[in-house]
Amino acid sequence: MIKTTNGRMASRTASGLRRVLVANRGEIALRAIRVCRCKGIESVAVYSEADAASPHVWAADDSVCIGPPAASESYLAAESLVHVATVKECDAVYPGYGFLAENSEFAVLCEENGLKFIGPSADAIRTMGDKSRARDVAERFGVPFVPGSKAAFTELHNAQTVADELGFPLLLKARSGGGGRGMRIVREPAEFPSAFLEAMREAEAAFGDGAVYIERFFDAVRHIEVQVMGDGEGGAIAFDERDCSVQRRHQKLIEESPSPIVDADMRTRLKQAAMSLARGIAYEGAGTIEFILDVTTGEFFFIEMNTRIQVEHTVTEMRIGRDLIEMQFAIAGGAQLDTSDDEHSATGHAIEYRINVEDWRCGFRPSPGRLNRWQPPQGTGIRLDSAAYKGQMITPYYDSMIAKLIILGKDRDEALARSRSALDCFKVGGVATTIGFHRKIIDHDDFLSDRVHTRWIENEMMPDSAKRIA
């Protein structure tokens, strides 16, 4: 899939990176360090005081404590990270996902200090991270997008005028960030002022930017995304879609590929749209083009691009038999992306379950604590990506996800059968997890009959008391 200009394997070009600072934690940091070891690249890990006993610290060739537990003083401290990278004589920085992975200023800071940012250019991050500019890009390349405002608002009066023109229901979305923060559904004009101010306050607190976009809201949609890989010179490939419709409060719980409701014709159109965007902006590295699919009309609309690797990239890896993290490193090391071969064709059906330390019986309340039992499942078609281990203290400082359970089968029925067995065998003690919730979902008639949508969890799976707590 990736080759050098003389046709040799990408592992040789990946060695063009000599030493890499891994600017993340947990399982994605561990994945990156393993790729470095496989490719003969030295790795430098960073960790907060709370993560001193994390496996990614042990696995790296070198490690540096970057600061206190608070992410703002450690994993989000861009200047400290770049300082460590330069002192340790690194030539590249790998951001993973979350934290600074989509921060254009961090990418610029790396470049200014002679460090290769393993990801897209700062300009690509800025362009696709700005919902208005991303919408303009989609329009330029003929990709359908959700009707909405071209600008973000901080003034209620101006926002109200545009809202009235678009009509209700509407969706308010923060200009910066994601994960459901700064997002509100507004069904009636009378609800708009309070919802807008709430969204602004939440966005300002989460991202330091209170500006909010307005979009048309669709009641029953599927969340479909396409993984792309670009070489930074206009070459790009797109992989089969992932269906991420099983969400809670806009945060994904289960992802699968291919989507049970996408046929061959729609798959082709989705991939073509995704490649048009990636090629059009000369995208470099791994990215994801996200769409919503209106289940009533069958229309799909571009909503945003994530300019990084995503948590759920593993379901794509399982189906194509390739390591996407390795591809990121190879491209950053100077490899040429071979867009002419068909080695990226996918087979089988893959499903990922995010294992979070949350008590789903009590409104998904966080459940930090010590893992006094950790017994993951094993077997054919089962993969676990995690940095958890028995005796580990799960702290409340970071994201609650401690593992990703990925299942592959020849088709969806086999993948679900293996999922039931794997979830039943997955034993965790000392903390509450979402394992039982996943087990409940995959036996639900709606899930089995492809009747889920992005708000299905809240509508069908959560009791009223849990909704109030959440």
How do residues 281-299 score in pLDDT, each as one tens digit? 999 999 999 999 998 888 9
Percentage of the chain lying above the pLDDT 70 cut: 93
Comparison of pLDDT for 201 and 178, the residue scoring more: 201
Show which residues are catalytic. Answer: 308
**221-469 maps to CATH 3.90.1570.10:** no
Does the pLDDT of residue 54 top 60, yes or no? yes
In angstroms, the Cα distances linking 208 to 67, 68, 174, 176, 258 are 21, 21, 11, 8, 37
- Span 145-216: which CATH code? 3.30.1490.20
- Span 2-119: which CATH code? 3.40.50.20
Comparison of pLDDT for 125 and 4, the residue scoring more: 125
Comparison of pLDDT for 126 and 12, the residue scoring more: 126
Residue boundaries of the structural domains of the chain: 2-119, 145-216, 221-469
- Name residue, tokens 């960790």: 47
DSSP state of 150: S
Q: How many CA atoms lie within 13 A of 70 on its CB side?
A: 3
Q: Are 53 and 45 in contact (CB under 8 A)?
A: no
Residue 413 burial by CB count (10 A; 0-12/13-18/19+): exposed, middle or buried? exposed
Contacts 24+ apart (CB under 8 A), 48-55: 48/73, 48/74, 48/75, 48/397, 49/74, 50/395, 50/397, 51/25, 53/392, 53/393, 54/25, 54/26, 54/29, 54/387, 55/30, 55/387, 55/389
Q: How many helices (H) and strands (E) does the chain have?
A: 17, 24
Q: How far apart are CA 461 and CA 214, in angstroms?
A: 28
Q: Are 28 and 97 in contact (CB under 8 A)?
A: yes
Q: Are 360 and 426 in contact (CB under 8 A)?
A: no
Q: Enter the pTM of the model.
A: 0.88
Percentage of the chain lying above the pLDDT 90 cut: 82
**Average pLDDT value for residue range 326-348:** 85
**Average pLDDT value for residue range 460-466:** 62
